[in-house]
Amino acid sequence: MGLRIGVLATNYLWAGAVEATSLGAVHSYPELGDADRIDLKSLHADEMISAIRELIAKVRQGAPVDSVGAGLPGVIRNGVIEEAPNLGQLKGLAIEARLSEALKADGIDAPVVALNSADALAAGIAATRGAMEKLVRVWSLGDGVGFGRYPRGEGVWEAGHSVVTLDPKERYCGCGGVGHLEGIMGNRAIRLRFLDLEPEEVFLAARNNEDRAVSFVRLWHRALAAATATSVHLDGPGRFYLAGPNTEYIDVGLLGMYLQEMVKMTSLEGSFFEIVPDSHDLALIGAAVCGAMR
């Protein structure tokens, strides 16, 4: 049997070899610690495909490859990246076909599956926790806000753009929409809101009881609770995983209290939150697992 390869795009490009649910060799582009780090937003789509091809070559080391799964940001349907707010150069790219064609030049004639990176994370959680028959939902909190769901369903699933406020002044989302979750929780939105503070400084100010920061941190938690309550009302109650660098700011107790205020039907009560470490590795595993499922 050959390797299952997982690919992931975050602030770096990553590729990892996966056997069963164990992650083996991992390589990144650019290399971690590279002094001349490249912003992926500056790369042409062709350059990104070329970089992924090189990463896969490093990971496989000549071994046969059974499948490739690629977790990428944005709306991905039928192998095409329909929207990619954080990597705009990929919009409209037929990623599955283009990557499959590029890999054939390296002797890899294997199925390629592209999916949203948060969905890959949800699949990784399901695979490593023996929950492949269960519904898994995860919020990925960082520069943007992603929502991952396993099993994947038909539709867009851009829950990071859930409308959580009717305040017309809430215009901080990168997509331009009003009242979005990411317009409150995303790092870009926080910087626009405070101008002179980085996100970590805002949360530090809240811990020091500075009024404006305290009010915002409550809004930040309430927004996530509202989007979660929407998912509960659509898909039912359960465990919601929290992942990504901004989970360090989460007060799980406060988040749970706000969620209880918003979900009052007794048959829908009982949801709770769990913070997941190592989300990057889990997403690589999930991408590989989904790639093998075609």
168 and 154 in a common domain: yes
Sign, CA dihedral 30-34-40-42, equals negative
225 and 249 in a common domain: yes
Which residues form the domain of 182?
134-276
Give the CATH number of the domain where residue 60 resides: 3.30.420.40
Q: What total of structural domains would you count in the chain?
A: 2
Q: What is the pLDDT of residues 97-145, one digit of tens each?
A: 999 999 999 999 999 999 999 999 999 999 999 999 999 999 999 889 9
* Residue 127, in any domain of the structure: no
262 and 181 in a common domain: yes
Task: Give the CA distances from residue 194 to residues 86, 165, 255, 278, in Å, rounded to whole numbers and listed in that order.
Answer: 21, 19, 22, 29
Say how far apart CA 103 and CA 205 lie, in whole Å.
49
* Residue 208, in any domain of the structure: yes
pLDDT beneath 50: ranges in the chain? none
150 and 113 in a common domain: no
75 and 143 in a common domain: no
Torsions phi, psi of 150, nearest 5? -130, 130
Q: What is the pLDDT of residues 263-279, one digit of tens each?
A: 999 999 999 999 998 78
140 and 116 in a common domain: no
242 and 153 in a common domain: yes
177 and 85 in a common domain: no
Neighbours of 34 (CB within 10 A): 11
263 and 218 in a common domain: yes
Q: What pLDDT was estimated at residue 152? A: 84
* Residue 32, in any domain of the structure: yes
156 and 28 in a common domain: no
* Residue 138, in any domain of the structure: yes
State the pTM of this model: 0.92
* Residue 161, in any domain of the structure: yes
